[in-house]
Amino acid sequence: MRRADHRDFDVGALLEAKRDAAATTSLCFPARDEAATIGDIVGRVVDHPLLDEVLVVDDHSTDDTAAAAAGAGATVVRAADILPSLGSGPGKGQALWKAVASSAGSLVAFCDADVRDFDERFVLGLLGPLLLDPDVDFVKAYYQRPGDGHPRGGGRVTELVARPVLHLLFPELADVVQPLSGEFAGRRALLESLPFVEGYGVDLALLVDVARAVGVDRVVQVDLGRRIHRNRPLEELGPMAAVVLQTALRRAGVDVPATVVLDRPDLTPVEVRWAERPPLASLRGDKPRH
> Does the model's pTM come out above 0.85?
yes
Q: Tell me the domain boundaries of the chain.
A: 2-282
Q: Judge contact between 137 and 214, C-beta under 8 A.
A: yes
CATH of domain 2-282: 3.90.550.10
Q: Judge contact between 98 and 57, C-beta under 8 A.
A: yes
pLDDT in tens, the chain (290 residues): 899 999 999 999 999 999 999 999 999 999 999 999 999 999 999 999 999 999 999 999 999 999 999 999 999 999 999 998 887 777 899 999 999 999 999 999 999 999 888 999 999 999 999 999 999 999 999 987 665 545 455 678 888 999 999 999 999 999 999 999 999 999 999 999 999 999 899 999 999 999 999 999 999 999 999 776 556 666 778 888 999 999 999 999 999 999 989 887 888 888 989 999 999 999 966 555 54
Q: Judge contact between 77 and 26, C-beta under 8 A.
A: no
